[in-house]
Structure 1
Amino acid sequence: MTRYAEVIGDPIAQSKSPAIHNHWIKQLGIDAHYDREHVRADALADYIARRADDPQWAGCNVTMPHKLSVMEHLDTLDPLAKQIGAVNTVVREADGSLAGYNTDAAGFLEPLAEDLAQQQYFRMARVLGTGGAARAIVAGLLEHGITVVLAGRDPAKARAMLDELDPDGQHHVAPLDHFSDATDFEFDDREGCFDLVVNASPLGMIGQPPLELDFSHVPPGSLVYDIVTAPLETPLLREARDRGFRTVDGLSMLIGQAAVAFEKFFGVPAPRSDGDAELRRILAE
């Protein structure tokens, strides 16, 4: 019998998850499919109860607004999901129990693996945004010994997040508009350091205001990472490339987190031998 998984949320029509997972299912030729299901907040408990009784249901990805509320309907939580405080992947285990995971941190970190495998004297990330995605990103960065400067419209919220995730860490907060004005700060010799600048906010997305970042705040040799996927080439990434910085776009995190979920759903790794080139072409259509 055909196994299936799906993505749930409200709204859900915009999700790219079906295109990603069904591409991999087709590549592998496995007997499975991946759908989307519109689930309102008042219907979440009933949805989980019905799916939990279906042995062919492998699980679901979870998008807004259910990443927090779904946790109360699960039997177990992965430690990282518990730390982040949000679940984006529910897996029906062999015994019928439901386990909650957060694959956002792993998906975010995937394109940084080569950099993080190197030895560095110091690692710092400037993370712009304090929402749910930022929380997962910060949690992932902390696992790799990265000092974080977290910027948001409300610095108190940023401080509370850092104090909760790493109460003994020497991290910093700043108002988001701190990075919009030019600075005359002279960066020291960054040889042997890893510097990362992350837009973890929706700023720059279609329909949202632009992200205001003056590049005088970006250390030489930094990697600039924008998790926005629409547009894929954001003004931030365009300017970063024009200035000679390495960049990572939002599809990298989206595909990376989906690959972790895919293996949990279907028990086989996602086929990615072409470096996701064909999948990126499909998602750009």
Structure 2
Amino acid sequence: MTISARTKLIALFGDPVSHSLSPALHNSWIEALGLDAAYVALRIGEKEADAAFASLAAFGFHGANVTVPHKARAARAAQRPAPAVVALGAANTLLWEEGGVAAFNTDAQGAVDALDDAASGWREGVKSALIVGAGGAAKAVAFGLRAAGVSRISVVNRTRARAAEIEGADIADWAAMDAAFADADLIVQTTTLGMKGQPPGAWPIAAAKGTAIVMDAVYAPLETPLLKAARMRGLQSLDGLGMLLFQAARAFEIWFGVKPDIALGRKILERSAGG
């Protein structure tokens, strides 16, 4: 990779970033398309964040991905926030333009795109969705599903007050998760439960409908305890790489105006994740 004054630089902006699969993914797409661009990870802490945002523009960066803990700051810093950014108060994609910084949240659409890709017909079959968790990923998924026409969205979270922050969603009781699973056409797990080094979670998958779709935002491991239980029950299951892949593809198109190769992206992510 040769970097010149004409190279379009894209930053991954967050803390931590060493674990991220995004540099391998985006640089593979850049190489495949023959673009004069480079995607670099920058570990930026809370104290340095404001100065770093200003510096990215000064150093000629074309765009950025923003991850924890800076998504809310990125939304506030933008002169041109997209509707999803305004609604969610969080941005994961930035584009520097002549009129200032444009901000986007591709997490919301990424979840919907992953479903479109792997669960044909889900839009007709899913009338009710259950989201496990109430963090940024949960809010983005709820926004995306609502925009896609899902009529009823429920949220179950250990802390009910956080679940109440997701606008327009019903709140399910964590202690009565069996009933929430039984009522859902789509179950989306957005917490760290099941991630390597984290508790596996106790999932009442036996209570789920036989036609339910089960989706987990976790991608390390690719088959989480939830997805394994869903597979053993014969339910359609989607791992977290799909959400990561499609939010990245949306961001890539924002920066470069071209659609990346989804099949190549999946291959890169599976290899990088050890899947």
TM-score, with length taken from structure 1 = 0.86
Is 2:106 the counterpart of 1:103? yes
The answer for the alignment partner of 1:190 in structure 2 is: none
User: Of the candidates 258, 263, 271, which is equivalent to residue 268 of structure 1?
Assistant: 258
The answer for the alignment partner of 2:127 in structure 1 is: 123
Moved over 4 A (4+): 114-119
d(CA) in 2 for partners of 1:172, 1:105: 19
Q: CA deviation at 1:173?
A: 1.2
> 1:154-175 CA deviation, whole Å, 9 max, x = no partner?
22321332xxx33xxxx42123
Sequence identity percentage: 36
Aligned length: 266
Larger mean Cα displacement after TM superposition, 151-160 or 79-88: 151-160
> 1:94-130 CA deviation, whole Å, 9 max, x = no partner?
x151011111011111122265766637611111101
The answer for the alignment partner of 1:172 in structure 2 is: 170
Q: CA deviation at 1:277?
A: 4.4
1:199/1:122 Cα in 2 relative to 1: closer, same or farther (>3 Å)?
closer
d(CA) in 2 for partners of 1:228, 1:264: 25
Gaps of 5+ in 1: 188-193
What amino acid is aligned across from residue 15 of structure 2 in structure 1? Answer: D
Q: Report matched runs for 1:246-257 at 5 Å.
A: 246-257=236-247
1:39/1:160 Cα in 2 relative to 1: closer, same or farther (>3 Å)?
closer
Checking the alignment, whether the CA contact within 8 Å between 2:75 and 2:86 is kept in structure 1 is no
1:74/1:119 Cα in 2 relative to 1: closer, same or farther (>3 Å)?
closer
What SS class does the counterpart of residue 165 from structure 2 fall into?
helix
What SS class does the counterpart of residue 14 from structure 1 fall into?
coil
Checking the alignment, whether the CA contact within 8 Å between 2:25 and 2:269 is kept in structure 1 is no
User: Of the candidates 39, 42, 48, which is equivalent to residue 43 of structure 1?
Assistant: 48
Q: CA deviation at 1:144?
A: 2.3
Checking the alignment, whether the CA contact within 8 Å between 1:116 and 1:144 is kept in structure 2 is no
Is 2:82 the counterpart of 1:78? yes
TM-score, with length taken from structure 2 = 0.89
d(CA) in 2 for partners of 1:267, 1:4: 15
The answer for the alignment partner of 1:160 in structure 2 is: 165
User: Of the candidates 13, 24, 49, which is equivalent to residue 8 of structure 1?
Assistant: 13
Gaps of 5+ in 2: 1-5
Checking the alignment, whether the CA contact within 8 Å between 1:128 and 1:176 is kept in structure 2 is no
d(CA) in 2 for partners of 1:98, 1:72: 10
d(CA) in 2 for partners of 1:48, 1:237: 38
d(CA) in 2 for partners of 1:247, 1:90: 31
Checking the alignment, whether the CA contact within 8 Å between 2:25 and 2:265 is kept in structure 1 is no
Q: Report matched runs for 1:183-198 at 5 Å.
A: 195-198=185-188
d(CA) in 2 for partners of 1:243, 1:79: 39
d(CA) in 2 for partners of 1:118, 1:132: 23
What SS class does the counterpart of residue 48 from structure 2 fall into?
helix
Is 2:200 the counterpart of 1:210? yes
d(CA) in 2 for partners of 1:186, 1:12: 37
